[in-house]
Structures are given as C-alpha cells and as structure tokens.
Amino acid sequence: MPEEKKRRPRGQVIPLDAGNREKCRTWGVRVPLKERDATGRHKTHYEALYNKTERQAEKRRDQLLAEVEAGLFFSPAPITFNALLDEWLKQKEREKLSPASLDSYRHTTAAFLRPYLGHLQIGEISPVTVRDLFNTLQDRKLADATIRYARTVLNLVMHDAIRWRYLRENPAAGIKPPEGADGRTCRSFDLAETRKLLETASLDPDDLIFVFALLTGLRPAEYTGLLWAHVAEADGRGVVHVRQVAHKLQGGGWVFRRPKTKKSVRSVPFPAALYADLMRWRARLDARRRAVGGEWQDYGLVFPNATGAPQRTDSLGLKFQRLLKRAELPVHFTLYSLRYTFATLQFMAGERDKVISDLMGHAKVDFTKNVYTKVLPAMQAQASDSLERLLFGAARTTFAQSDAERVM
C-alpha cells in the first residue's frame, strides 16, 4: 500500500486572555505556509486578533489557510517600523523635497511615531495599534492639527510601504481621527473683544503684526515670511500678495518656500488706515536696522525680529498672550483666532462665500463655511456693514495713535 502524503497541519487558534476560553477576546492565529525552513519544517505565519470572538478567530485562520492554498498569501516584510521610517526618509531625500517638508517629516516621525510604533514589526501594527496611538497623542493634550498631521504622515509612510510590497494593507486607512481632532476648534473674538484687542494693540507699535493678522486673515507662517516687496497700495487701499511662507528648521536656520497649494498664492486687500500704519512701521524698522548695524539680517521682512530674521511662531504666540493679558481678554485665544475672526467678520459684513474662501486661500468654499464661520451673536444685527465700519465707525481714519503718542 503506497504511503499516504503527509498533510500539512491546519493551523491553530490560541486564546491569549487568561481565564475562561468562552470570555476570551484576544486570540493568536498561527497557520503553516507552503515554504519549509532549513530543518524541513513548514514555516508559519502568526498574527494577534484583538476584541474578537473565538469564531471570528477561526474564520481568520480559515481565510489565511485558503490564501496559502491559492498562492495568494502575503507576508509583511520582516522589518521594524523604525527601519521602514529610515528607508522612507532616505527615499524622500532622493525625491528632492523641500527642506521644510523634509524637516517636518523628520520632526513628526521622531516626536509622535517612533516612540510608540518604532519597535514593532510592521506586520504587528494593526488598526487597533493605530487607534491607541492617536488616543495616546490626544491624552498628551496635543493640538488637533498636530494629531491630524501625524496621521497624514503615517498614512504616507504606509502607502509607500504598500507600493514597495512590504505591506498588503494600510492599518491606518480606516482609523478616524480621535474625538475633537477631526475638525478645527474655532475660537473667534466677538465684536467687543475685537475692539478691545485693537485698542490695546494700538498702544505698542510692535503689536501691529496682530492688527495686520486680524485684518488680512493670513496664516502665521505667511505674515512672518512676508516681504515688503509683496505689500503695495492699489485703488486707495493696501494689498498684500502672499507668495511665500517662513519655516524654522529643527536644526536651526530658516527657509522660505512657496505656499503648498495654488489657492494659497493670493492677493488680499486691507484698509487704507492699516496701510498708513505699515508705512510708519517701515520707517521705524529702518531706524532699528541702522541702530543694530552689522548684526542686522536683511531679509526684507515686514515683521522681523530684533535682528531682522523671521519671528518664531512660538515666541510670537507668547507675545500674543501678553497682549491678551494687557487687554484683559481670555488667554485661550491663539494666533489662529485672529484668522478665524477675520473670516467671521467678513461673513457678517455680507461678503460672498467664494470671495472669503479666496481671501483665506482655501481650495474649497465648503471648507471655509464649515470651519471658519462661527457666527458671533453680538454681530448679527450688523451683518450688512463693511468690516472697517463694523469695527471702527465711519469717522475712524487710522488703526494706530499718532507718532507723538506712540513709544518706539
């Protein structure tokens, strides 16, 4: 009688929770592969399943066995996530990305991805692992935008891993942002707060940057990287041409690059009174430049620091907090509150959605309406007024005090 061909074992479903098997919700699934190792034994594939019943684990085992039999089984590359990140960043360097983008990727992966995922084999990273990562980041009280960007970078890494045949599926693809991190939290000044902020800012020339931010709606990186060459007067008012943003490299130094999207390259008009203040501010900067002498770094910036270089947004944020305290306003407002308020004021002044979206540099009008238009109840009765009249009345001719009233 011929010897029967020895069948390959059918795999295992292993309970990983201690105690009663019926209550177990964590399982290990091990299946044999067609390939054999040096000793002649079948190689195996193992994966852990979380929050699953025994029946669900058995179905996964059977699915894996069917894939092995059909020659469709895919085994993730045997590398750690840290090794994948190293390879991914080197590839990004070869793709000639901007220094700012590379710097941002390095910082985000080092600060938010490597500490939690770096030691894992890439095949061990499951959707639950990714979910727990984002929950942990949220527990650290990180800004919503920081968590969203970490998720974006993780998806970019996993997408390339799939293209390189290191993974079959992206474990982050179906994970929603944590509660509170799937949209921006808009904190806008109401009308009374806006007036108080502007009145207090008018007392210090160095606070003109915040008045400018409020009345143009520019992003912090846009006005910290703004050049005098991009400010002009047209049709009796000022206009700012957004052509670049400033980015501080983690290792030191600055780079300037074009905004990432076509819509962000835009022109934004602003009141003539603010333009007059800017010209007075420019004269003060010239005097400051001469006083500093050879240490002045002549970038040609509108709002430089004390030596002519761009202002860091973190330092600018602290300066803004001091302004809020002087104005006796809540300190929960941020630099972006100025941008949110600009959009809301424009809507309340009766401006069209498309025009506001263009002024904000958004690709889609719906994004502008959904994110930036927190209606201020105190302003509803004044929706038809223009922005300048809404804030200052027809008699207002300047946003600042006279030269004699100001302190350099």
Q: Please report, rounded to a whole number, the percentage of residues in the chain having pLDDT higher than 70.
A: 85
Which residues, in sequence order, are CB contacts of 77 under 8 Å at separation 6+?
A: 122, 123, 161, 165, 166, 167
Are the beta carbons of 223 and 369 closer than 8 angstroms?
Answer: no
- The residue ranking higher by pLDDT, 116 or 78, is 116
Instruction: Give the whole-number percent of the chain exceeding pLDDT 90.
Output: 46
Task: Return the minimum-mean-pLDDT range out of 59-73, 81-95, 391-405.
Answer: 391-405
Lowest mean per-residue pLDDT among 110-114, 212-216, 361-365: 361-365
pLDDT at 194 (0 to 100): 93
Residue-wise DSSP of 336-394: HHHHHHHHHHHHHTT--HHHHHHHHT-S-HHHHHHHH----GGGGGGTTS-HHHHHH-T
User: What is the spatial distance between Cα 233 and Cα 345, in angstroms, rounded to a whole number?
Assistant: 23
* All structural domains of the chain with their residue ranges: 12-70, 81-163, 191-405
In this prediction, residue 272 has a pLDDT band, given cuts at 50, 70 and 90, of: very high
Out of 5-14, 98-107, 226-235, 383-392, the most confident range is 226-235
Q: How far apart are CA 244 and CA 301, in angstroms?
A: 11
Q: What is the mean pLDDT of residues 353-360?
A: 87
The pLDDT value given to residue 380: 46
Domain spanning 81-163 has what CATH number?
Answer: 1.10.150.130
Looking at residue 395, its pLDDT comes to 47
Please give the CATH topology (third level) of the domain spanning 191-405.
hpI Integrase; Chain A (1.10.443)
- Picking from 10, 4, 6, the residue whose alpha carbon sits closest to that of residue 44 is 10
Residue type, 217: G
CB burial class (10 A; 0-12, 13-18, 19+) of residue 236? exposed
Residue 305 CA to residue 290 CA, distance in Å, equals 14
Torsion sign, CA atoms 18, 19, 22, 25 = negative
253-279 average pLDDT score: 90
177-211 pLDDT, tens per residue?
666 544 455 688 988 899 999 999 999 999 999 99
How far is the C-alpha of 199 from the C-alpha of 392, rounded, in Å? 10
Counting Cβ atoms within 10 Å, is residue 94 exposed (0-12), middle (13-18) or buried (19+)? exposed
What does the pLDDT average to over 363-391?
58
Closest Cα to residue 246, out of 225, 232, 262?
225
Determine contact, residues 177/134, Cβ cutoff 8 Å. yes
Average pLDDT on 315-334 reads: 93
For the segment 210-233, the average pLDDT, to the nearest whole number, is 95
CB pairs under 8 A, 24+ apart, for 140-145? 142/112, 144/177, 144/180, 144/181, 144/182, 144/183, 144/184, 144/185, 145/184
Find out whether 292 and 307 touch, Cβ atoms under 8 Å: yes
- In total, the chain counts a number of residues equal to 408
pLDDT of residue 152 exceeding 60, the answer is: yes
- What number is the average pLDDT over the span 65-72? 86
Residue bearing the bigger pLDDT, 334 or 369 = 334
Q: Which residue has the higher pLDDT, 124 or 383?
A: 124
* Mean pLDDT, rounded, of the chain: 84
